[in-house]
Structure 1
């Protein structure tokens, strides 16, 4: 077998949907990162199923940097390793999409990644939440598709799964996915050892709860002339892009927290840092659905220990340039681009177009 170059993934690197090669932390193993051999055409071309055919499940689990007990779970059953990889991919793409117009655009190249993970920024909180959410989502869908041999369609007792199979109403197995995700996260070391670990665990649970709360029951009627002689129902997860939007809103409303130690038992709890918006002591404890962070984020405007800054980033003149460029202004250049033009309607709904070379203005931050 050829020697493929290992890429730190935690992180996984992709060039997809016009997004530049980037990395995003997949927070399943505390402060450790997942590593995977990615210099393979199947990864570069987004052919994840081909990876499962190229490498054995045991090899895939070895390629990911997991704790011993997590690796044992990865090897157990067909499809588990593939579902883990799909969860990583999903979290990466969603993070990049949600932050594409932000100063921090979900780019965590070294050495910035390690420095970010040592801090309790809002961005780190989002990464933990989106990671656990994608894990639940990937395994629930994997059960439905038959990819994972340890589970089947939705196992809810109040739903007629036999009829659901018959009529094509196979539901996402949220029950199995939740159980697997919680066990998988519990297998990570350093659980609850310090404030950062406690905050990371809290935000991981936020991601799980968001997926769980966005499950809908879908039903389909079957019968002659549209009558509902037979009705089959199944549970279905929301699209992950919808989950990402909810998590982004929680990120924007995240609370900064401090810790309060109980002198009697030595345990500590989280509470919202006091400000003018918190007047009732009963509201000082963050809810289980609130995203929390420990310290304010840097501006990410200039190159620092946490990011490369925004110099050279492309922006929209009428929308994002002011924010992304941090008041430094922007450069304007022109580049050639082929675009469909001179289109004519051909018999109802078809269009016949030429390709024209046009000048396009591009704006980049100074």
Structure 2
């Protein structure tokens, strides 16, 4: 269950964030190159069906209703794992040069607050799940969905020609069912969470493009097949990082016409003023500095930085240490007849900069 989360927000809080709380130690310190493993090894090489599939569903930190959906859909467990991998790697990549670098390290307190960082986590997690579900449909890893429903394209032809479109329509519909998104309560935090989740889903949708392939003699375009294809997830990550950088602080107001509680930003001076855009990330309170260890962050001490670009900001005015490291690399490579390359091993001295503790 989503333990430790606000009761009003729990039905809306994405499963991946619950997994972040339970498995933070599994990804803390990643550079973005390592694979992520959230389930025990014995199930990693088993097909996502039968007992292995059921075990994977049970071991994930999901609500009871989500576990039921997971058990009913062979292939869903692997898709959930893939979405967590996508969201974590993308978060670490986008914040690699920031004071908060997406590290949790047992600091689930951040998820209980209305910071910009929490908004990004919700958005990138919902985006990753939407993306992974659409890709799982088009790749045949989900039994209850297949290619997108592009007009004039039969599924059998799509598989034969290798043009099976990413089924974002099914993905979005299933995602709302999986997250249990119903009518949002009057609770301000629940409204903010729901808004940021939808920002992530919209970010994926904005990257859906139409791709076409020609069929004909000598490459002619006598017959053309078109299908829907999602952009690489890193494009979505870049967009969400921009949304994070331009996030809007909000408060609640009562609509005089309907009596409903709504989100509003300081730029909205009256009930008839401009409303929040559905693509804007929103937050409730200012973030801490993340410079020193706290319940929200391990701080920046010891973080590697770039002398010319990031040390000044990352080290928070404490300065940085300089060390010389020897690295090995291949050098003086020559091609030998035939098809063989011989290289020497050279040593290179590099300066490495890390933030000071004091």
What TM-score, normalized to structure 1? 0.83
Seen in structure 2, the aligned counterparts of structure 1 residues 156 and 201 have a Cα distance that, compared at 3 Å, is same
8 Å Cα contact 2:264-2:275 kept in structure 1: yes
In the alignment, the residues of structure 1 paired with residue 33 and residue 149 of structure 2 have an alpha-carbon distance, to the nearest angstrom, of 40
CA contact (8 A) 2:330 2:344 kept: yes
What is residue 192 of structure 2 aligned with on the other side? 199
- The CA distance in 1 between the partners of 2:314 and 2:326, in whole Å, is 24
Paired position in structure 2 for 1:171: 165
Q: Check conservation: 1:160, 1:232, Cα contact below 8 A.
A: no
Distance between the aligned counterparts of 2:221 and 2:45, measured in 1? 38
1:323 to 305, 310, 313: 313
What residue in structure 1 maps to residue 176 of structure 2? 182
- 1:17 and 1:301 map into 2 onto residues whose CA distance is 19
Residue 56 of structure 1: CA displacement?
1.5
- Identify the match of residue 10 of structure 1 among 9, 20, 27: 20
TM-score with structure 2 setting the length:
0.84
Indicate the larger mover: 338-347 or 121-130.
338-347
Please give the residue correspondences for 1:293-332 in structure 2 after superposition, counting only pairs within 5 Å.
293-332=283-322
Change in CA separation of 1:53 and 1:176 when aligned onto 2, cut-off 3 Å: closer
Shift of 1:51: 7.8
Query: 1:70·1:187 contact (CA, 8 Å) conserved in 2?
Result: no
Q: 1:254-269 maps to which residues of 2 (within 5 A)?
A: 254-262=247-255, 267-269=260-262
Alpha-carbon deviation of 1:166?
Answer: 2.5
Secondary structure, aligned partner of 1:9: helix
Question: How many residues were matched structurally?
Answer: 336
Is 1:106 the counterpart of 2:106 in the alignment? no
Give me the whole-angstrom Cα distance separating, in 1, the residues matched to 2:46 and 2:330: 34
Separation in 1, partners of 2:253, 2:296: 28
Gaps of 5+ in 2: 1-17
Instruction: Indicate the residue corresponding to 1:225 in structure 2.
Output: 218
Structure 1 stretches of 5 or more lacking a match? 1-7, 24-35, 43-47
Q: 1 or 2 for the larger relative contact order (CA 8 Å, sep ≥6)?
A: 2
Cα distance change, pair 99–14 in 1 and its aligned pair in 2 (3 A): same
Deviation at 1:20, TM superposition (A): 8.7
Matches within 5 A, 1:279-290: 284-290=274-280
